[in-house]
Each structure stands twice: as C-alpha cells, then as structure tokens.
Chains A and B, each alone.
Chain A
Amino acid sequence: MNENMDITMNIAIKKMKHRVWSVVTGTALMLALSLNVTAVRAADEAADVLVKRISQDVVDTAKADKDIQSGNQAKVLDLVEKKIIPYVDFQRMTELAVSRNWRDATPDQQKALVTQFRSLLIYTYSGALSQVKDQRLEFKPFRAAADDTDVEVRSQVIQARGGQPIQLYYRLRKTGSGWKIYDINILGAWLIETYKGSFNAEINKSGIDGLITVLTAKNAKLAIAYGKKS
C-alpha cells in the first residue's frame, strides 16, 4: 500500500517538475526571441545576416552573369563597387594596416593612403571574385552576444574541384551606419596583419610618401590590366 502511494507521489512530482521546466524554457525562449527582435531593430540587420546576404548575393550574381564568367573585369569591378563597398570600412582598414606610422602621417597623406589601399583591395577582391565558378559558401554557427560591437563571422568556400574547404572569416564593427567589415581572413591569415608587414617595410625604406608612391604605381598597373581584359 505504502509503496503504491510512493509511486503515485513520485509520478506526480515528476510531472510537476516537467511542467515547471517547460514553463521555464518557454519563458526563456520567448525572452530570447523578444531580445533578438529588439537587437535586429536596433541595428537593422545582424552582422552574420549582413555578411551572408551580401556574399551570397555577389557570388550568385557573378555565377549567373555571362560577361563576368567570360572575364569581363570592368563588370566585376562594378559589382563589387555596388554591393560590397558600402559595407566596408576602408578608413579603419588603412589605419590598422599602417599601424604605428599612422599618427606620423599628415591628413593629406592619410587621405592618399586610404584612397590607394581602397583601390588595391577592390582590385584584389574583384580578382578573387572573377574566379568564382562552381564554389559554394557555407557559414559556421555565429557566436556573439547581443551587445557585442566587434564580431567575427565565419564561413568557408567549398570547391567543386575537391580538396580542402577555403576558410573565409570576416571581422565587423558596429558603427553609426550599421555593421562594417574591416578585416578578412583567408586560409588563416588576416588581410590587415598580412599587409602590415609590407607597409612597415616600405615605410622604413622610403617613408610614408614612398608607400603612397608604391601603392599608386601598383594600382596604375592593375588599372591597365583590368582595362585591357574588359
């Protein structure tokens, strides 16, 4: 008798525990959802959603465009200018790449550095994009708190040719006008960090003006290459 009562009691307790848990998880879920909604409202678009949207958009457009597939570089440049550039913080990229020499540059030199580095990055990115044929993008789970202002979005490029997937990460920072990309990691190397050494070497050799000259010459060469192919 006593044993039977024990069992019914236990079942009742278990049911109650279960109910309490589902209420708790339900509330937590609702809370999380509502927080998420406010976060989206505040920044218009989450960083990972932004990166997914623009990269997928650009890759799809590049794949579908016959001119781009047949090597029309001017059209690739156009695509990059329209769809990617508005979301990139070139000012910050240049500052970070020039690093400790940035403070020594005059406002005019700083302006010239941003302009030239911007062009170089656009050419490079367009070059990469024009090679997109049968690749596929995959995004890794996004980990960031709602109030983070500096986040990393991780993706990888799966190649139809086989071989290892190519790691492709982005660093973004929240600004007054939404999230902006300020660094890209390809195969484990961050772009800014990789340029830092080259910039530093050039500045040590021939000063900030020397670096501006080298960048300008490089861009002039790339402009010809891109002009010819289009």
Chain B
Amino acid sequence: MKTSQMLVASVVLLVSGCATVPPDGNVNDPYEHFNRKVFEFNDTVDAIAVKPIAKAYNAVLPSFVQTGITNFFGNIGDSWTMVNDFLQGNVESGVADLARVSLNTIFGLGGIVDFASAANIPRHSEDMGKTLGVWGFPDGPYIVLPLLGPSTVRDTIGTPFDYYGDLWGYTTPVYVRNSGSAVRAVNKRSGLLGATNLLDDAALDKYIFTRDGYLQRRASQVDARIQERQDRIDDAAAAAAVNAVSAVPDEPEK
C-alpha cells in the first residue's frame, strides 16, 4: 500500500528529527508550527464537510439506529482491543473481551445489541499505540495527522497496525466496506458533536487545549495499564505466598 509506505517514511523522518530538536517548554511539541497547519486543515475539513454531515445524520436517524451502528462497529473494534489486551499481557481483560465479542456477535445480532455491557462486561478500548506504551516505548513528540488528528510518534507507529487489525477492513465486496467505513466515521463524529461544541466553549487556544488534553489522556491510560500489570504481578506473588503458607499442614484433616 502506498499510503502506509508514506506513513512509515514520515514516521522514520519524525523519529530521526526528534533526536535533534529539543522539546519546546515542558510539552514535547517540537513540530508545533507544522502541527498547527495540519490542525487548521483538519478543522476546516471538519467544519465544511464532516460536521454538517454528522449533524444531519444525528438529526435524521432515530437514536436506536445510531446505538445499533455504534454497537456494531464497537463490537468489531472490541476484537482488536482483545488482541491488544493479550499483547499487553492482560489475560483477564482479553478473556473478558473474548466473552464480550462472542456474546454480542452470537446473541446480539452480529454486535448490533450490546448485551455484554448489560451483563457487566464494559467496553474499553486498546490500540497498538497503547500496547507499545505498555511495552515501554516512550510517546515521543506530539504529531497532528492529516484527517486522523492528534497523535504522537509512538501512536503513529501503532496506527498502521490498528489499520490492519481492523476486521472491517477485510469486508468484501469493497463498496460495502467503503460505505460501512464512511458510516462508521460519520457515526463516530456525530457522537462527538457535544464534546467538540464544549471544546469550542472551553478552550482559549483550541490547538493547545486539544494537544495537552490528548497527551495527558494517553499518558494516563498507559500508566493505568502499567499499574494494573504491576498489581497483577504483586497479586500473583501474594497469592503464591499465601498458598505456600497454607500448604503447610498445621493440623491433620482426618
């Protein structure tokens, strides 16, 4: 694929660039000048095309249809989350996601109904960028990707994996895949209408606000995963210690 080759090439450029450019202030954003241009471009595309379509979509489709569409694509995303859970060594979450996807696919009409949430298996989302973070990759400088939006060098390296790990990308015929992808994007944007309106209200400088929010969010998610992994290791050690103690018979059973 040509686009993915270009992506890899630009990532290599960015990574090699980050060694020479010192981080600006306490936020790692040496490409701010370039990033702002891409941010403006994304914002313009959004204002002209994506947001109006999302608004219309939101107004026309009844909410239960939107819920169904969110659930359907969410279910497909859950399978990639499951893969990432296992890659992060989080067997418990991986198994929960396996149960989630099976339950919703079989009994939830191919994922349209989200029974798993009702059964207390909440949806969460993992991606390759986070997995790389759990493995110890530093996030690197902030990057705004054309159309895709906020990212970091690490998350950008993860993006092609997320692209190939997305099962919808293998759907045939192609026209179904493409229109499905468009619906998914519009549906996602329409779910964010409230949030972006809020962003307009809250931010003094939308670029800085988005950047700082994104970097904090990603860092806190990766930290939480690493913490959970440490907790699992500690718990396992504690359980082993308890087993070792209780294995010593203090009184005969019979």
Bound Cα distance A165, B117 (Å): 10
Q: Mark B57-100, 1 if CB is under 8 A from A, else 0.
A: 00000010011001100100000000000000000000000000
Interface residues of A in 174-211 (CB under 8 A from B): 187-190, 193-202
- Whether A161 pairs with B216 at a CB distance below 8 angstroms is no
Closest to B202 in A: A124
28 CB-based A-B contacts, threshold 8 Å: A6-B252, A10-B252, A124-B198, A124-B202, A161-B63, A161-B67, A162-B71, A163-B123, A163-B191, A165-B122, A188-B217, A188-B218, A189-B213, A189-B217, A190-B216, A193-B212, A194-B212, A194-B216, A197-B209, A197-B211, A197-B212, A198-B204, A199-B204, A201-B205, A215-B204, A218-B204, A222-B201, A225-B201
Indicate whether A127 sits within 8 Å of B212 (C-beta atoms), given known contacts A162-B71, A164-B124, A187-B217. no
Residues of the A chain whose Cβ atoms lie less than 8 Å from the Cβ of B123: 162-165
* Contact yes or no, B63 A193, CB < 8 A: no
* B121 sits at the interface (CB 8 A): no
Interface residue A88 (Cβ < 8 Å from any Cβ of B): no
A218 smallest CB distance to B (angstroms) = 6
B74 touches A214 (CB 8 A): no
Q: Is A123 an interface residue (CB 8 A)?
A: yes
Write out the residue numbers on chain A whose beta carbons fall within 8 Å of the beta carbon of B122.
Answer: 164-165
CB distance from B61 to the nearest CB of A (A): 11
**Which interface class (under 10, 10 to 19, 20 to 34, 35 or more) fits B?**
35 or more
Interface string of B152-179 (1 = CB under 8 A from A): 0000000000000000000000000000
Which residues of A have CB within 8 Å of B209? 194-195, 197-198
A128 close to B (CB within 8 Å): yes
Q: How far is the CB of A63 from chain B (nearest CB, A)?
A: 15
Residues of chain B having any CB pair with chain A under 8 Å: 25, 27, 63, 66-67, 70-71, 74, 114, 117, 122-125, 191, 194, 197-198, 201-205, 208-209, 211-214, 216-218, 220-221, 251-252, 254
Determine the chain B residues whose CB is within 8 A of the CB of A112 once the complex forms. Answer: none
A6 to B251, CA, bound (A): 10
| A197, B209: Cα distance in complex, Å | 8
What residues of chain B lie closer than 8 Å to A215, measured between beta carbons?
A: 204
Contact between B125 and A162, CB atoms less than 8 A apart? no
Interface of B is mostly: helix
Residues of A within 8 A of B191 (CB): 161, 163
Interface presence of A145 (CB below 8 A): no
Complex-state Cα separation, A107 to B205, whole angstroms: 26
Query: Cβ of A120 < 8 Å from any Cβ of B?
Result: yes
Q: Does A13 contact B (CB under 8 A)?
A: yes
Complex CA gap A124/B216 in Å reads 20
> How distant is the Cα of A189 from the Cα of B197 in the complex, in angstroms?
17
A27, B38: Cα distance in complex, Å: 64
> Of B25, B220, B251, which is within 8 A of A188 by CB?
B220
Bound: A13/B250 CA distance, A: 12
Bound form: Cα–Cα A128–B199 in Å: 10
B117 proximity list for chain A (CB < 8 A): 162
CA separation between A46 and B71, bound complex, in Å?
A: 37
When A and B form their complex, which 6 residue pairs have the shortest distance between CB atoms, in order from nearest? A188-B217, A189-B216, A188-B220, A162-B70, A189-B213, A197-B212
List of A residues within 8 angstroms of B194 by Cβ: 128, 131
Smallest beta-carbon distance B121→chain A, Å: 12
Complex CA gap A14/B251 in Å reads 10
Q: Are A123 and B251 in contact (CB under 8 A)?
A: no
Separation in Å of the A219 CB from the closest CB of chain B? 10
State in angstroms the CA–CA spacing of A76 and B216 once bound together.
Answer: 29
Contact of B203 among A10, A187, A198 (CB under 8 A): A198
Complex CA gap A131/B58 in Å reads 14
